[in-house]
Structure 1
Amino acid sequence: MTYCVGMRLDAGLVFLADSRTNAGVDQVGTFRKLSVFENPGDRMMVMMTAGNLSISQAVRQTVSAWVSESGATIWTVPDMYEAARIVGEAVRAVYRQESARLAEHGVDFNISIVFGGQIRGERCRLFYVYSAGNFIESHEENPYFQIGEAKYGKPIIDRVVTPRTSLDDAAKCALISMDSTLRSNISVGLPLDLLVYEDGSLAVTRFVTIDEHNQYFQLLRNSWGQQLKTVFEGIAAPVWDAAPGTTDNVLSSTNMHSRPVRAPLPEGMTAGAPPAPLQSVAQQPPVPGQH
């Protein structure tokens, strides 16, 4: 499995990807899922993939070499929308080549892509590309995309990240999101690739590969866990069956009439009476004529 997150901010872009792949508990590997297409001064683009590893690698290679009917390539298209179209066409091309053979072996054509960057003359843009080759673009209301094991790391991003978030704060949030995923799902693992791109740079601004010895990541993991526990312990316990308005932490009040859904007692059973003991096969009397 995998977990990747890409963020589009007013200040630039943040990309974070893990590197674990596995086909079972005893078949764990490390493969880089973040690829950069960069021509410094003209364009900087990042592609992160989740899904079948062989499909992902085939799509990445196809994107690098793709030439459209008009002769355009990932290196010559005038804007990020056209670049995203090339990524989508590459996905469709690999599907045509591989899907039938994969289906013969019971393997689904499974890939999802976060693709973003900047081409000279336009703003930073971020896209989510599906297995069918179609895609959507990130806008003000949704400044990030996730692929892979997204559920564990989503809550912190929803609470923190907006287009106005700084690049460093977004990178910190992405790492906390990844740490939550690492703790909850063993199919996501170190090392991590973190790329931070400053708007207008047209080249990679900052990049680091993070392993278990990375000083900042260890600090973040430890302090985040400790502070979460401190916040948790600082929240008052619920008060049950209190008068309304007595305190702010009333969970159920005396004027509430909540009742659980209860299953009816079996026919013949009296309320409050202990159930009759069950008789095992060994306790049953023998049938005459049988041994």
Structure 2
Amino acid sequence: MRPSTLRGGFAALIAIALAGCITNAEPPRRRVVQAPPPGPPRAYVDVGLAGQAVAFEAYTRRAAAIDAGFSGPAEIAQALQTAAGYEPRQLEGGMVAYGAMAALQEPAFVAGIRAQGRGLASRLAADPGAAMDLPGGSAAAARANAALARRGEALADAGRRVKQAAYSVQHQPWSRARVPNAAQRLAAVERTSAGGYRPDPADHARLTAALADSGRRAGSSPVIERSLAVAALTALGDDGAARSLMRDPKSGMCLREAKLNFHQCLASAGTHYEDIYCLGLHAMADPGQCVVDATRPARVRQARLD
């Protein structure tokens, strides 16, 4: 989206909303409406970012909602499919996009981006951390940090509850039975994993609601810095440079290892309660912790003076 279309984007959204309200009523009478005085800068939401962020929001929400009170193999099978519903690279990029959209809810940050002009894009492409120095940068980082941490913590906590259920469920005889179709179950999980995000018509509305109620948490990290830089570059219309910052090597490796461990755990599991263990630890708690860790400052190795 180019800078010249930013205001047009808002107008288009308003027009679409109004069009949905049109009925067969008679045409309204013409009225002269006085324009309201200018208000503070409005938060900017980019449709391209939303397309990536929605995959992150949808997966973390769906997986975190898995109930640990399993009553039979059918519920476990459904939960495995739900938790398998992310592709690591897609989730990695979606995480940065989600943080960027949270940052763009900070009006002072958006105003600071526009005041800097086009020269800002080349600086951010070379040094994403420079976004923190923009007016409103700290406030935008607090929004991005809180939004991502909230998602990661909810998923990790839900995973720990499911993992605990793998022990408590063993007093039920069915949980100790062998999984009869283990090979087919693993193949189905791998297909779902490869497919990644499964769209739902209500997901974009849920994304908007989640961003509006994500809170603030002070602190930065390489992923938060990338989120702010992507937000700024997208607002400036430099989508190519923004896309180049949608990857974080450390977080990406963490998510890929979680997925690999999930598949390997299922391959060696034999009973239903072992499936629950794999689900809770590797498909939920592990990727959730990857997201939480992505919001924390990078560790600085201190030199030893001998």
TM-score category (smaller protein): under 0.3
TM-score (structure 2 length as normaliser):
0.21
TM-score (structure 1 length as normaliser):
0.22
Q: Determine which structure has greater relative contact order: mean sequence separation of CA pairs < 8 Å that are 6+ residues apart, divided by chain length.
A: 2
Which structure: greater strand fraction?
A: 1
Which structure: greater helix fraction?
A: 2
